[in-house]
Amino acid sequence: MIKSKYNWLYEPPIEYISEDLVKRYKLTPIIKKVLENKSIVQEEDIKKVFTDTTINHDPWRLSYMKKAVERINEAIDKKERILVYGDYDADGVTSTTILVSTLKTLGAEVGWYIPNRFTEGYGPNKLAFQNAYDEGISLIITVDNGIQGHEEIKMVQELGVDVIVTDHHEIGRTLPEAYAIVHPMHPEFDYPFQYLCGAGVAYKLSQVLLDNPPNYFVSLAAIGTIADLVSLTDENRTIVKQGLANLNDYCPPQVKAMLNQAGFNDTINEETIGFIIGPRLNAVGRLEDASLAAELLMSEEEEEAEFLAEQVEHFNVERKEIVAQLTEEALAMAEEKVKAGRRFLLLAKEDWHEGVLGIVASKIVETYALPTLILNIDLEQNHAKGSARSIDQVSMFEILSAHQDLITKFGGHHMAAGMTMDIDNIEELEQGLNDWMAQLAEHASLAPTKRVAVKLDEADITVKNIRDIQKLSPYGTDFEKPLFELDNSDVMDVKAIGKDNKHLKITTGQLRLQHLYWNNGHLASQIELGQPISLLGNLQINEWNGNQSPQFIIQDLATNDEQILDYRSKRKHLNLETNDHQIAFIIHPKMEKVNDNYFYYGETIGDEYEIVVLRDLPQDLESLTHSLKEINYSQMYIVLQHQASIYFEGIPSQDIFKKCYKALINKQETNLEKEGMLLCQFLNVKPNILKFILKVFIELGFIIDDNGIIKINNNPNKQNIETSQTYQARLSRIEVEKRLLYDDFSQLKQWIEAQKG
């Protein structure tokens, strides 16, 4: 049995789409089910999905928009120097580009500044603001940051520099004393949609300052929206739809240059931004100064854009290498924490690259489904900086806010946060976070869950249905790509594919549907042909040589039946942790037990083990049967190590025994060293068969072995050869080998299953 990594939660819809609406909008059964799962059942909501309905809320309704615009226009009229103060991620650099370009269009004297992640950290900092004042800046506009910059904003305001905060991050207990705060979640205003990203807020400000912002701006806002993982509903959905449409109608040179470096020349969709554009814009700020990414987005010449995009690509390649190394180290640390029962994983180490800690934290969350904070320890500065990523059940902003007294500075939202803290507080923070999680676990489930949109039959998985599902895109946060469940489909073929057999390919059912499971090639040896398997994943169309076929991209899988897996071949290598206490190893009585989860054949195993390994070949079937009677497992691996097989040699006939005995009587004394091979030739047997015969004779008292000289016992007790324990042991060994080593595996499985109590 392969257990699923997640709980698969399927909740039947509360409301259903009327037949009238089904006919009017020509909804296929699968689309109807997907919409009902998302509670999109009313005509108004269905229209928003299938038509080009534009949700463009009045930007004047954003908090203090009028005050902010009046101050910006005043600064432009008076030729004041304006500074746009951005952030180093994709949302930050797109925000910066939108607002700087807007102000330049209006003729403003504007510069921009993006703090360095490593030397300055996230958000406003006093030195940068002081430098702005010293350089004659009289208006600072933050984008994608500022809502937590209380001290810095107060300082520069007291110097006479006005600060307009445009941000979208969670608002803390108090608001900074800025000249104006433009924020969709401002408690004193009622903007209809609270989940704009930083670039979205900058775009709304641009809509007020410019009567008709260029298409490039909404494309930038779409990039920021997708890259920052904000809710892809309501106004954000409009921004992303319009942005993607613009990018496909005319891809600006700045974006085209990045796609060229990635070797991408297909239709641009939300995944293009999420997996190609966003990570490249983020890579620069993760490793160096993010200004390069902003310069690329603001570049006006195609040649310049290509040059800058090439540099961005170098950072992206380096980022991947660093992430791979750090992830390996962090996973090892996380494993120890999980074994110790930790429910919040705080991982801290010196010389971890601060710029990629968020990516690594995401990979840890993906592996262990626990909220994770990863910190780099800087002994010289006596502080630790890092990034946190969460799970659905835990608000990272809330849990860190509850321990704010231990944290120097932090900002973020439900699923992610960045922070700085004193090294001395790490241990206390870790304990506090785990205590908080323990309290939460008392009244809420923390089990990792995947929500199933639709349960499918094999016949539902068609190219036409997949095309229909694609019409619902773009997908993202709060409007996730639907997850489909396919239950008990018989495995027709399974194999590991790709470099180093890294990925898994499964073919199931009479329709021979193709399924891919990235980075899970190791499961190929655990899946048996003909067994039913249940799959959870997404659907896509596979195109090859002009042909299209449906394809299931697996996110999780499970087999409901107990599995007995054949590892008897020397070509198969079983790599299991010998000290994993969920695994029971059953070994030959002459072998040494390594630890408490090792058992000899004949001992009672119990039912607490998920995996059972028959490591060695048993002496007899009876001892194996006894161990199997009380056993309960999800997977059993049949390894059956042994030094040599005797099955094909068999057991000598009675005539051979008689012929050997007569030869020994005739000689009375036989020197085995000198005459053993002659005796083998006479009997036409191999030396080990002769040794067996002599051992039987010695056991029955027919002969005496005097240091290699075989002498006849002239007064033996009359006994049948078959009464010898040695003889019976060989018979038993042959029976063991026949059953366990040489029987067809399907028959062996049936026999093992029949032994269970």
Round to whole Å and give the CA distance between 89 and 282: 5
Write phi, then psi, for 189 (nearest 5 degrees). Answer: -125, 165
Q: Do the domain assignments include residue 240?
A: yes
Q: Where are the beta strands (DSSP E) in 627-697?
A: 635-641, 669-671
Q: What is the pLDDT of residue 722?
A: 94
Is the pLDDT score of 724 beyond 90?
yes
Do 678 and 694 reside in the same domain of the chain? yes
Q: Do the domain assignments include residue 321?
A: no
Which of 295, 314, 333 terminates a domain? The answer is 314
What one-character DSSP code corresponds to residue 423? G
Do 574 and 719 reside in the same domain of the chain? no
Distances (CA, A) of 121 to 132, 421, 487, 617: 17, 12, 48, 61
Do 630 and 684 reside in the same domain of the chain? no
Q: What is the pLDDT of residue 757?
A: 62
Do 540 and 591 reside in the same domain of the chain? no
In terms of Cβ atoms closer than 10 Å to its own Cβ (0-12, 13-18, 19+), residue 65 is buried
Round to whole Å and give the CA distance between 124 and 180: 15
Q: What is the pLDDT of residue 618?
A: 94
**439-470 residue pLDDT tens:** 999 888 888 889 999 999 988 999 999 999 99
Q: What is the pLDDT of residue 415?
A: 84
Q: What is the pLDDT of residue 50?
A: 78
Q: Give me the DSSP letters along 253-285.
A: HHHHHHHHHHT--S---HHHIIIIIHHHHHHHH
The residue among 195 and 633 whose pLDDT is bigger is 195
Do 63 and 44 reside in the same domain of the chain? no
The residue among 560 and 495 whose pLDDT is bigger is 495
Closest listed residue to residue 154, CA positions, set 143, 165, 168, 144: 165
Which of 561, 578, 598 terminates a domain? The answer is 561
The residue among 415 and 423 whose pLDDT is bigger is 423
pLDDT band of 746, cuts 50, 70, 90: confident
Question: Residue 250 sits in a domain of what CATH number?
Answer: 3.90.1640.30
Within 8 A by CB and 6+ apart from 373, the residues are 344, 345, 346, 347, 361, 386, 387, 388, 419, 433
pLDDT band of 571, cuts 50, 70, 90: confident
Q: Do the domain assignments include residue 2?
A: no
Per-residue pLDDT averaged across 603-627, rounded?
90
Round to whole Å and give the CA distance between 166 and 701: 100
Mapping DSSP onto H, E and C, the string for 156-176 reads HHHCCCEEEEECCCCCCCCCC
Q: Decide: helix, strand or coil at residue 375.
A: strand
Closest listed residue to residue 680, CA positions, set 692, 671, 667, 689: 689
Owning domain of residue 407: 341-445
Do 535 and 436 reside in the same domain of the chain? no
Per-residue pLDDT averaged across 8-36, rounded?
92
Do 264 and 214 reside in the same domain of the chain? yes
Q: Decide: helix, strand or coil at residue 380.
A: coil
Per-residue pLDDT averaged across 327-341, rounded?
94
What one-character DSSP code corresponds to residue 740? I
Question: Residue 688 sits in a domain of what CATH number?
Answer: 1.10.10
Sole residue written with tokens 């009677």: 629
Q: Do the domain assignments include residue 594?
A: yes
Round to whole Å and give the CA distance between 417 and 415: 7
Is the pLDDT score of 119 beyond 90?
no
Q: Do the domain assignments include residue 130?
A: yes
pLDDT band of 631, cuts 50, 70, 90: confident
pLDDT band of 674, cuts 50, 70, 90: very high
What is the count of structural domains for the chain?
6
Report which residue type is found at 374.
Answer: I
**157-191 residue pLDDT tens:** 999 999 999 999 989 889 999 999 999 999 999 99
Do 533 and 484 reside in the same domain of the chain? yes
Q: What is the pLDDT of residue 568?
A: 87
In terms of Cβ atoms closer than 10 Å to its own Cβ (0-12, 13-18, 19+), residue 249 is exposed
In DSSP terms, which residues pair with 516 in a beta bridge?
A: 505, 553
**120-131 residue pLDDT tens:** 888 999 999 999
Do 36 and 147 reside in the same domain of the chain? no
Do 710 and 743 reside in the same domain of the chain? no
Q: What is the pLDDT of residue 224?
A: 98
The percentage of the chain sitting over the pLDDT mark of 90, rounded to a whole number, equals 78
Per-residue pLDDT averaged across 635-639, rounded?
90
Q: Do the domain assignments include residue 525?
A: yes
Round to whole Å and give the CA distance between 21 and 41: 9
Round to whole Å and give the CA distance between 335 and 323: 18
Distances (CA, A) of 451 to 234, 371, 554: 21, 19, 14
CA dihedral 688→691→692→694, nearest 10 degrees, is 160
Do 291 and 413 reside in the same domain of the chain? no
Do 126 and 203 reside in the same domain of the chain? yes
Q: What is the pLDDT of residue 657?
A: 97
Mean pLDDT (the chain) is 93
Which of 415, 445, 475 terminates a domain? The answer is 445
Round to whole Å and give the CA distance between 165 and 577: 54
Write phi, then psi, for 613 (nearest 5 degrees). Answer: -120, 120
Burial 712-746 (b: 16+ CB within 10 A, else e): beeeeeeeebeebebbeebebbbebbeebeeeeee
